[in-house]
């Protein structure tokens, strides 16, 4: 890592660094997500009851939220990095940036709502 | 101000690194699209067991499960090439980034076969 990165582009450097941090978080949690939800469900796709049963511990919804937040951050920041390469008009950039932020906020809201509601459910 | 960039510069050398880079971008865009769909579909959990199981019954048919195996492949490519990117940036990965790419693809391929078989065993063989 360039030791003088603070002098060159602080904002870009922080974004770049957070992209690596969230990548590692998403990598670990997504592998766990896949194994626990999809690969250990005994020859069938997971059912409603199996999913609700998993959320019984206090830490499970928390881990879900960390995965949701880190995944959205990583994905939307990544999209922004790609857009910055091809969109040079500052008004278009503002429009697209606003769309990404509002879309991200809406998805975070919907995802968090699902996690909270599911955590408060009982097995039928 | 900004230098115009094309989506892919065909005058550029077509080496491992440039292909890994463009596939990483394309797979990343596919994954954020999928994540948005996933958050929306999983919200049906809050509509009760009937609604969720009905949705899943539909999504467990073979066309969606085949797409799901494809998704697992895209995830593995992005994940293991991403590990390579982190190793190149933080470690001494740049000295061996092509070999790292081959290694990443090999691990991803093995996991794709294992996961693909498991996902295929969940297929409900009827039309959606």
**Is position A30 within any domain?**
yes
Q: A41, B122: Cβ pair inside 8 Å? A: yes
Of residues B127 and A51, the one with the higher pLDDT is: A51
Is the CATH code 3.40.50.1370 the one for domain B20-120? no
Residue B7: CB atoms within 10 A of its CB come to 9
**Is position A73 within any domain?**
yes
Q: How far apart are the first and last CA of chain A?
A: 53
Q: A79, B25: Cβ pair inside 8 Å? A: no
Structural domain span for residue A50? 5-119
Amino acid A122: pLDDT: 67
Amino acid A81: pLDDT: 94
Three-state SS at B30: helix
Average pLDDT value for residue range A35-50: 81
Q: Are B100 and B87 in contact (CB under 8 A)?
A: yes
Of residues B91 and A3, the one with the higher pLDDT is: B91
Q: Are B45 and A124 in contact (CB under 8 A)?
A: no
Q: Are A27 and B104 in contact (CB under 8 A)?
A: no
Average pLDDT value for residue range A111-124: 84
Give φ, ψ of A46 to 5 degrees: -60, 140
**Mean pLDDT of each 10-residue bin along chain B, 128 residues long:** 60 77 95 96 91 89 93 97 92 84 95 94 81
Q: B86, A88: Cβ pair inside 8 Å? A: no
Interface test with A, best of B22, B49, B67, B107 (most A CBs within 10 A): B49
**Is position A124 within any domain?**
no
**Is position A69 within any domain?**
yes
Phi-psi region of A43 (alpha: psi -120 to 50; beta: other; left: phi over 0): left
Tokens describing residue B42? 């999983």
Q: How confident is residue A54, by pLDDT bands cut at 50, 70 and 90?
A: confident
Query: How many folded domains does chain A comprise?
Result: 1
For residue A60, give the CATH number of its domain. Answer: 1.20.1300.10
Radius of gyration of chain B (CA): 19
What CA dihedral angle connects A61, A67, A68 and A72, to 10 degrees? Answer: 170
* B117-to-A40, A67, B18, B61, B124 alpha-carbon distances in Å: 13, 25, 31, 15, 14
What CA dihedral angle connects A23, A26, A31 and A32, to 10 degrees? Answer: 150
Q: Where are the beta strands (DSSP E) in chain B?
A: none
Tokens describing residue A50? 């199996």
The yes/no answer to whether this complex scores an ipTM above 0.90 is no
Of residues A21 and A124, the one with the higher pLDDT is: A21
Instruction: Evaluate if pTM is beyond 0.80.
Output: yes
Interface test with B, best of A27, A36, A42, A45 (most B CBs within 10 A): A45
- Facing residue for A45 by CB, picked from B1, B56, B90: B56
- Facing residue for A76 by CB, picked from B32, B43, B90: B32
Q: A79, B35: Cβ pair inside 8 Å? A: no
């Amino acid at each position: 890592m360039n030791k003088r990165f603070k002098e060159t582009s602080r904002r870009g450097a922080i974004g770049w660094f957070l992209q690596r941090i969230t990548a590692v978080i998403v990598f670990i949690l997504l592998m766990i997500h896949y194994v626990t939800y999809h690969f250990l469900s005994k020859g069938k796709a997971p059912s409603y009851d199996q999913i609700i049963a998993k959320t019984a511990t206090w830490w499970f919804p928390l881990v879900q939220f960390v995965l949701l937040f880190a995944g959205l951050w990583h994905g939307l920041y990544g999209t922004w990095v790609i857009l910055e390469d091809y969109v040079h008009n500052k008004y278009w950039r503002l429009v697209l940036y606003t769309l990404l932020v509002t879309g991200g906020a809406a998805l975070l809201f919907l995802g968090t709502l699902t996690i909270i509601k599911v955590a408060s459910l009982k097995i039928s | 101000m900004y230098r115009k960039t094309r989506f892919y510069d065909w005058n550029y050398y077509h080496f491992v690194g440039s292909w890994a880079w463009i596939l990483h971008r394309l797979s990343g865009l596919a994954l954020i699209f999928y994540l948005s769909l996933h958050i929306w579909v999983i919200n049906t959990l809050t509509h009760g067991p009937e609604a969720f199981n009905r949705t899943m019954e539909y999504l467990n048919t073979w066309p969606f499960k085949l797409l799901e195996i494809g998704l697992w492949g895209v995830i593995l490519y992005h994940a293991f090439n991403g590990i390579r990117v982190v190793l190149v940036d933080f470690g001494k990965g740049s000295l061996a980034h092509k070999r790292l790419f081959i290694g990443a693809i090999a691990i991803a391929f093995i996991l794709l076969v294992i996961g693909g078989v498991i996902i295929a065993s969940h297929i409900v063989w009827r039309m959606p």
